[in-house]
Amino acid sequence: MIIATVSLNQVWENKKANLLLCEEYIKEASHKSVELIIFPEMTLTGFSTNISLIAENEEKSETIAKFKELAETNKIAILFGIVINDSDKALNKSILIDNQGKILGDYAKIHPFSFSGEDTYFNAGNKLEIAKLNGYNIGLTICYDLRFPEVFSALSKDSDLVINIANWPKKRIKHWDALLKARAIENQLFIIGVNRIGKDANRLEYEESSKIYNANGEIVEYEVFKDMKVYKIEKQFTKSFKSKFNTVNDRKIKFYKGFM
């Protein structure tokens, strides 16, 4: 599968400006025969808790409608982040749309970042999500989820790769790198992390840190194209690696559950 990651420099709470940026990346990626393009968490707003301004009703979402249109027009699958209304609060979501404009995956972040007060404004998701695209089973996660290995262990049972979209600050970027690599090694699959760049209204700085790790914890090689990283991954790599050195088969899940 050919995948492009976009480390978007998100304009704070400006959906129109960010959408224009995304459109350009999508068009360029389609010319490169990219099958899936991935954008960071809360794609069109940056990480904001201004729910009254940024949240949308899922059934009437202009953002979802526009990404569906872009996917179908450019014949490319798109993964993006969005904030959706949910009773008294909201949900921080990751949505995967195929190249026909059909929603394949709809995931609500299970672990709101309580350290920053995200849980004050966002409800926690209550289910794992694995979507099927072009013969790949893709697990969906968002930012802070990365710190909870149980989620990735559960997803890895039926996934070929797991994607984490984020707004992960530069000051904790060593954690981001270490955790992405660890999640790939311990679950023996591809892990994709897509982070933003620039600076937000909270004065948090972000640096280019989007990457893909393979089952051996190695960074997958990529080509830089129009400020995107373009990767080609093959399921056969994971299958071959695990046939020679399989550790996930030795998990004792029932035993672990007895102590949790």
> Active-site residues: which are they?
41, 109, 143
Report CA Rg, the chain. Answer: 17
Token pair recorded at residue 164: 């984490």
Contact by Cβ (8 Å): 228, 4: yes
Q: How far apart are the first and last CA of the chain?
A: 37
- Euclidean distance between CA atoms 153 and 158, whole angstroms: 10
| Residues across the chain | 260
